[in-house]
Structure 1
Amino acid sequence: MAARLNKDGEAWLTQPSSRLALPLLLLAALLSAALIFYVIGDVVLAAGFAATLLVIAALMAWARRLYPPHVVAGEATPDWTVARAAADASNVAIAVTDRAGRLVCASDLFGQWFPGYPTPPGITGETTLTDSLSLAARAAWRDGDARVEGVAQGALRLDVDIARTGRAEDYLLWRFTPVRQPSALDDVHRLLTGEAGRQLGEAGVMAVMIGGEGRIRAANGAFLLRAAGRIDANIIGRDFAAHMRVDDKARLFLAREEQGGLPLRLLQVPLKRAIQANGAQGSAQDGPMLLLLIDEPVGGGGTSALSYIETLLSLLPFGLAMADRDGRVLFLNNAFARVVGLKPGETPSYPGDLVVREDQAAVADAVRRFAVGPQMSGDIAVRMRDQPDEPVALSLAGVRGLGEAAVLLSLKDNSEESKLKRQVAQATKMQAIGQLAGGVAHDFNNILTAIIGHCDLMLMRHAPGDSDYDDLQQIKSNSNRAAGLTRQLLAFSRQQTLRPQILQLPDIVADVSNLLKRLLGENVKLEVNHGRNLGAVRADPGQMEQVIVNLAVNARDAMPEGGTLNIQTYAVPAIKVREMRQQILPAGDYSALRVSDTGLGIPPDILAKIFEPFFTTKELGKGTGLGLSTVYGIVKQSGGYIFAESEMGRGASFVIYLPVYAGADAQEVAPVKAPVKRSETWGTGTILLVEDEDMVRAVAERALTRQGYTVLTANDGEQGLEVLANTDRIDLLISDVVMPNMDGPSMVAAARRARPDLPVLFMSGYAEEQLRKSIDIPNVAFLPKPFSVSQLAEAARDALGVGSLAD
């Protein structure tokens, strides 16, 4: 039965109608009476039987209504009204679909945003969006949750979160959350009602934000005090013009200051471009505005008033500039200079000097158009000289009564927003590349297993000095080099096996210092500085040493003429992280490792690509481009963050932040004991080898047979179970993990039910750590691909010798 919500939010169940049951009951009674009359021939007895049957049915129906049957907990119909009420209260639209793809529940807000209650993922007619949501839904069924960001629905932009839910996890919960868009109105509202509004008031500036209808939306304390007499007065929603008066000389005053009040100078800052019905540009009075009022200087004087306005504009947090009727720049504040990338003390002659050559004519025409005629406002899209790839909106508004100033120009400082967008895009790209790299490494490991295994088998037939021996050794050496590349790919994709321990970063730096001195050479000086009160971190010491070595080698190559390499460790408490205002780094306690050099530096256009695999600026044959990508993968898999900083000609710095380990027992992770080495690899017994790759299965079978084992083979898990069922004794099961039809873990789980003590050796091109998280089977051994013949023989011997290898 399926549960839905009616318009009143009540749940109802789809079940057979009671109107259909009554005719069926009457028909059954008549047929029974006819049958009795036919057999006995007594009309009274037949009618009495039919009446009795109807009375019993009526009593049962009445009893069922008085005492409804108890619903088993596992069969209870979900009460969607709670989820619906919670969604409506949180401004989040929800929809619930079952495994058949049917819509079983939806909130009112979902129906408002998507009329007709369409069934996700087909919420709109856009094929691209439907495909994207379908992929996300499949990912949610598989992984438990998924997310799609920036779904456009009319004027809304929604983030879609999909989660598998329900007692049996047989539903998908779709949550549509509106993305809050940045608004100049909100920014100005916070400005006026916050500390900045108070400072403006202390400077003698009254500030008011009004809507297009002329009613007050926000005001600072200075205006409230002079216009209403109290700083806590509530004038929101009142007509702004009602608080003002104009005398016979067209001078502006506050209505409350009838006698002795000073005339006011009014500066209008449009906050939103107005669009008329025919699509033409509207007047500044058509939209919300920020009104700034200051006392008119005694005796007038445009120059002094302009200086006062410049002082005011320099206090505002958004970029503002003023230009005269000829388009010359008269003033710009620090925020404007920062947005356009001006150096301290640098002032452009014309606004067109700040944009690329193609946009200079458009900017000059816009300034001249707004400098004459009625006061107008509008926006144009331009590309800044220092950021030609990112168009920005330049707002212009005509101003009057400020001396030479005729046009007010404004730019929003979105440098942090743009930086965050680039970082998010980079992280998304790196994640996609990492997934691809992990898949390539897995497939390549299968190929390398076959190559290395066949080389080992051929080397057994050739002694040193044979004509083919050296060639075979060269093939095996190159194969091992390729295996090293796959390990780096797995490190980049965060899928390599880590052995984390509780450690201190200064200890790791001390252990690797002697190696660094040999690697850096005589013309590079190594400096090491350690801070105090560093917290312990949880990481793999060997991998962290590789991180330091890779960064040091890159720094050495960046200093061909010599220089200084500085390695520094220091503590970064949570309060310091908050002061950094780093969008990517969550607030918390960290231990930091900084590796800096005095080399040539990294160009800005290359800085965003340095962590990508196979990206290198070195000459052909001098590097693989996997050094920094390996560093990135190790740091991210260890739960840390890495940032690169560089300035051309002043070197580069790489800063790694590792979270401080909060475990109570610092000895939780014990050192891994080395297994006892045994030279003898010959053995006896029967081994079942399950591998879907023909080349890997062939070389493993030959290798194990040469060691004295009896080897039975199977192509997948289903064939492996058949061999187990038809064979009396299997001493060891060696299986690949990922196989078609039935994978290795499923086969082992079924085999352990019949043979609980069966030793198991898993082999896979994926990393052991990733597999152990997904395989919930105790007492199994693991052999990573690629492996040699001797490594396979040793792993089989150890698995048979100890019976099993505990996690």
Structure 2
Amino acid sequence: MAGATGNSYKHEIVSLASDKGGRFVLPLLIGAALLSAALIVWAVGDWALGAGFAATIVGLAALLHLVRPQRAPAALVREVAPDWTVTRAAANALGMAVAVTDRSGRLVCASDLYGEWFPGYPAPPSLPLDRDGAALLAEAGRAAWRDGEASCDTLSRGALKAEARITRTGRSDDYLLWHFSPVRQVSLIEQFTAMVMGEMGTQLGEAGLMAAIIGAEGRIRGANEAFVLRAAGRGDADLTGRDLAAYFRRDEEGRIFFAREAPGMLPIAIFRVLLRADQPDGPALVLLVDQPGNVAAGGSSLSYFQALLALMPFGLAMTDRDGRLLFLNESFARAANVPDGHRPAYPGDLVVTEDQAALAAAVRRYAVGPQMTGDIAVRLRNRPEEPVALSLAGVRGLGEAAVILTLKDNDEEGRLKRQVAQATKMQAVGQLAGGVAHDFNNILTAIIGHCDLMLMRHTPGDSDYDDIQQIKSNSNRAASLTRQLLAFSRQQTLRPQVIQLPDIVADVSNLLKRLIGEKVKLEVSHGRNLGLVRADPGQMEQVIVNLAVNARDAMPGGGTLTIQTFSISAAQVREMRSTVLPAADYTGLRVSDTGIGIPPDMVTKIFEPFFTTKEVGKGTGLGLSTVYGIVKQSGGYIFAESAPGQGTSFTIYLPVHVASADEKQAATIRTPPSRKVSWGTGTILLVEDEDMVRAVAERALTRQGYTVLTAADGEQGLEALSGADRVDLLISDVVMPNMDGPAMVREARRSMPALPVLFMSGYAEEQLRKSIDIANVAFLPKPFSVAQLSEAVADAFARTQPDGDAPDNGESSPWRDGMA
């Protein structure tokens, strides 16, 4: 029923007549008084008497005008009818059953819920209520007209139990607002459940009583914390709706125990109190208490000792004199890898066949001999790869028990040992890879250099041109392989910059779409408020590409490749409780696929070099090791999560970069572009122990127009330096026999402190700068081409100032203040 629009406010009260009286009566009286005064003067001839009479009349008229009730002049008073649609919409929005009646008892407004409860929208109090509900409601309505408000809380209509609040309202208090609300009937079982789970249940627990409320079907409706802790093992477990009987077990003697507790614990006495006496199978209050008296009678002090041992955090078991197992706690079963419900009869059933006789003999010896302790090394049947130490101790005075066995859970210790061994192996492999890469870089430098020199004499179209290009291309592929080795060993040369990870993902997205093919769907999502990171953009692109290619290969039938960036705060890292990831702010990169997954035994090996799950000839095994090396060298962390058939997810955490004051100042300084020239002049001293590299570099620089002096080691370099009239640039290898490059440069700087130096090496620049403390040096990584060598030399000459010092522009450049 929609809100009624009554006609009680459609009339208008118009007081024009009274307004006119107030406006014209006083002037008429004044006129009449003057006329009367004129008549008196004319009849009597006394001007004083006429004036007094007129003044009296005028004064009385003025007094009457002042004491008369004032009305707004010419006011038209009009009351506008209320908009009941707004009231009805508000009531519907709040889900209220509301009705409004006027003084005549007519319903002028009602909500939809009111119509649902009372079909046909009858006007209160004439509602179809049970018993004398309508009469009570009418009495409450009369009280509301009299007192302003009233209530009635005993209304019912079938299953509906409601209460009503009546309020007199309106501009002239000429309406009644009827608000009906349902009354929730709290059942007896709900009342007892609230008490058991509240303060009363806490007090019962402190008194040693466990309590629970069960329904007629035997399921738990509520329980106190003492019961929950014993039944589930933790106090915050939710047992609502669980079968009560499932938490107990019965032994051969008919005693009741909690199912989760080990044998030997105290039995439980259960008392059932019916909540309704007329329902023997209805809801009940169940009270439980330990009964130690029966245990003492049946098993003496041994049961108490077993109950104590069951609570110990380390593995304990007991045997009798014949070697039969009487008891073992959960820690022992976990350390021995005993399946649930398969308790062995003898300790020998836990170890391999070769160790059974020795263990049985040791148990018998400790059982009948003097009380003593000792250890025996055995191999567990379920974990025979490494021996464990089993401690034995003879005991007396515990009835059948004669020997206590102690077994330590070495899972965590073994895992740490394996991690240390793995880290040691990876470090050794990394050092080997770095050395191999250095030697290969020298060879590849010579090959690539000679190819460049030959290409200067051959133009496209020559018969040898394509062959030379093929040699150079394969050499570059080999150089990429050595860079992967250096990346794995964390010895590659990185050019870190302050970047945003979403920018790197965006730059490489188009390439990824071509690499993964049409069967794989690429999904990219970025988090908000991502912090800046400091990393090499090119290497981070290589990380994403390697992970994407691996994901593609793991989804031969197609799937979804997901790349996500997100931020994680130090507080969130602490909540992770990771033993590897330090608490700090990170920007994360997650690459996930829906592929075949990785078996658990291979997840720990995937970052090892040359380890691959692909077929022979389809992978070098360096992809993930390269990713691992780049991430670690960038100061980050990488974790892999995978399960067979559920895909794989690689998560990378890079620390958020906080710019220092020097970096902020350097960011405001613009670096002048380097002057690159195609022809050079000056004298260069080239010191290189590898003949082939020295020959290539000498020919390349000579063709560039420089005068080149050569030396095979540091000592020869110093001799050539002292014998030359002028040396404008010193180019030297780092690692050389007799005297290495840094030692030679320190000696040369004593006599020529402004001598520019360009180091070239197959080792990483970062590694060299940590071990060499020499200012104003540039670095050229091997392998390099003729063009790269020429560019590095030209850049070195361009940066050389008249006084010989290199400019300090504050940015990452080949010229830096100090090698450390």
* TM-score, reference length from structure 1: 0.57
Which structure 2 residues correspond to residues 353-368 of structure 1 after superposition, within 5 A? 353-367=349-363
Q: Answer yes or no: is the 8 Å Cα contact 1:595–1:655 preserved in 2.
A: yes
Among 431, 448, 452, the alignment partner of 1:452 is 448
| Deviation at residue 480 of structure 1 after TM alignment | 0.7
Match of 2:471 among 472, 475, 479: 475
Aligned pairs for 1:500-649 within 5 A = 500-528=496-524, 535-574=531-570, 577=573, 582-649=578-645
Q: What is residue 429 of structure 1 aligned with on the other side? A: 425
* Alignment-mate amino acid for residue 453 of structure 1: G
Give the Cα separation in 2 of the matches to 1:773 and 1:457. Answer: 35
Taking the aligned partners of 1:603 and 1:720, their CA distance within structure 2 comes to: 57
Q: Which residue, out of 735, 740, 763, partners 2:737?
A: 740
Residue 815 of structure 2: aligned partner: 806
Deviations 1:643-662 (A, max 9, x none): 44444444444343433445
- Aligned-pair distance for 1:792? 1.7
Native 8 Å contact 1:502 1:667 kept in 2: no
How many angstroms does 1:514 deviate by?
A: 4.2
CA pair 414-581 structure 1, distance change in 2 beyond 3 A? farther
SS in 2 for 1:689: strand
2:764 to 761, 767, 770: 767
Aligned runs of 1:300-449 on 2, under 5 Å?
Answer: 300-303=296-299, 308-323=304-319, 331-342=327-338, 347-348=343-344, 350-367=346-363, 377-398=373-394, 407-449=403-445
1:787 aligned to 758, 771, 784, which one? 784
Alignment of 1:5-404 (within 5 A): 297=293, 300-303=296-299, 308-323=304-319, 331-342=327-338, 347-348=343-344, 350-367=346-363, 377-398=373-394
Q: What is the CA-CA distance between 1:579 and the residue it aligns to? A: 5.7
How much does 1:420 deviate? 1.3
Residues 296, 747 of structure 1: alpha-carbon distance in 2 compared, 3 angstrom cutoff? same
Give secondary structure in 1 for the equivalent of 2:384: coil
The offset of 1:441, in angstroms, is 1.1
Contact 1:420–1:583 (8 Å) recurs in 2: no
Distance 1:702 1:492, change over 3 A: same
Aligned to 1:708: 705
Name the aligned partner's letter for residue 545 of structure 2.
V
**Contact 1:321 1:330 (8 Å CA) reproduced:** yes
Structure 1: gaps spanning 5 or more residues: 1-200, 205-264, 267-293
Q: Is the 8 A contact 1:734 1:763 kept in 2?
A: yes
Distance 1:536 1:416, change over 3 A: farther
Change (3 A) 1:585 1:327: farther
For the pair 1:682 / 2:679, whether they are aligned, the reply is yes
Q: CA deviation at 1:319?
A: 1.9
- Match of 1:726? 723
Deviations 1:616-637 (A, max 9, x none): 2322221111112212212222
Counterpart selection for 2:484 from 484, 488, 513? 488
Output one character per residue of 1:555-598: Cα deviation in whole Å (capped at 9) or x when no partner. 33233344444445555555555565544444544444444444
Amino acid at match of 1:382: V
Work out the CA distance in 1 between the residues paired with 2:403 and 2:456: 87
Hey, what's the Cα distance between the residues in 1 that align with 2:774 and 2:764? 16
2:208 & 2:526 partners in 1: Cα distance? 48
Mapped partners of 1:707, 1:339: distance in 2: 73
* Whole-Å separation in 1 of the counterparts to 2:643 and 2:338: 17
Q: Report if the CA contact (8 A) 2:524-2:562 is conserved.
A: yes
CA distance in 2, matches of 1:298, 1:484: 78
Q: How much does 1:487 deviate?
A: 0.9
| CA displacement, residues 102-150 of structure 1 (integer Å, 9 cap, x when unaligned) | xxxxxxxxxxxxxxxxxxxxxxxxxxxxxxxxxxxxxxxxxxxxxxxxx
Query: Secondary structure of the equivalent of 1:391?
Result: strand
User: Cα distance, 1:482 vs. partner?
Assistant: 0.8
SS, match of residue 334 in structure 2: helix
**3-state DSSP class of the match of 1:795?**
helix
Q: Secondary structure at the match of 1:300?
A: helix
- Report the Cα offset of residue 478 of structure 1: 1.1
- CA 1:306/1:578 → structure 2, altered by over 3 Å: closer, same or farther? farther
Q: What is the Cα deviation at residue 332 of structure 1? A: 3.7
Maintained 8 Å contact 1:501/1:669: no
**Structure 2: runs of 5 or more not aligned:** 1-205, 210-263, 266-289, 801-805, 807-813
Deviation of residue 307 (structure 1)? 5.6
The equivalent of 1:282 in structure 2 is: none
- CA shift, 1:548, in A, is 2.8
Deviations 1:267-286 (A, max 9, x none): xxxxxxxxxxxxxxxxxxxx
CA distance in 1 between counterparts of 2:754 and 2:392 reads: 80
- CA 1:638/1:725 → structure 2, altered by over 3 Å: closer, same or farther? same
For the 8 Å contact 1:500–1:538, the answer to whether it is kept is: yes
In structure 2, C-alpha distance between the alignment counterparts of 1:402 and 1:202, rounded to whole Å: 30
Question: Aligned with 2:650: secondary structure?
Answer: strand
Alignment check: 8 A CA contact 1:569 1:591 kept: yes
* Distance in 2 of aligned mates of 1:553 and 1:715: 44
Partner of 1:116: none
Encode CA deviations 1:721-769: one digit per residue, 9 max, x unaligned. 3223322233332222222233323333443444444433222112223
- Alpha-carbon distance change, 497 to 586 in structure 1, aligned in 2, over 3 angstroms: same
Are 1:466 and 2:462 counterparts? yes
The residue number in structure 2 matching 1:132 is: none
User: C-alpha offsets along residues 296-355 of structure 1, whole Å, 9 cap, x if unaligned?
Assistant: 735833458666555433322112334566666554433233323355666455544443
Q: Look up the SS of the partner of 1:301 in the other structure.
A: helix
Report Cα offsets for 1:658-679 as digits up to 9, x if no partner: 3344556685885999996888
The worse-fitting range, judged by mean Cα deviation, of 662-671 and 509-518 is 662-671
Instruction: Measure, in 2, the Cα distance between the counterparts of 1:732 and 1:299.
Output: 94
Out of 609-618 and 651-660, give the one that drifted further.
Answer: 651-660
Q: 1:329 to 1:674 in 2, by over 3 A?
A: farther
State the secondary structure of the residue aligned to 2:759.
strand
Q: 1:673 to 1:697 in 2, by over 3 A?
A: farther
Q: Deviations over 1:398-422 (max 9, x none)?
A: 5567676665433212221211111
Aligned-partner Cα distance in 2 for 1:548–1:674: 31
1: CA distance between counterparts of 2:748 and 2:485? 34
Q: Which has the larger radius of gyration?
A: 2
1:532 and 1:570 in contact (8 A); partners too: yes
How big is the shift at 1:388?
A: 2.2
Q: Percent identical across equivalent pairs?
A: 76
| Root mean square deviation of aligned Cα | 3.9
Q: 1:737·1:743 contact (CA, 8 Å) conserved in 2? A: yes
Aligned pair 1:693/2:687, yes or no? no
Counterpart CA distance in 2 for 1:359 and 1:366 is 11
Equivalent-residue separation in structure 2 for 1:497 and 1:796 (angstroms)? 19
CA distance in 1, matches of 2:626, 2:537: 15
CA distance change for structure 1 residues 593 and 791 in 2, over 3 Å: closer, same or farther?
closer
Question: Given that residues 526 and 565 in structure 1 are in contact (C-alpha distance below 8 angstroms), is that contact kept between their aligned partners in structure 2?
Answer: yes
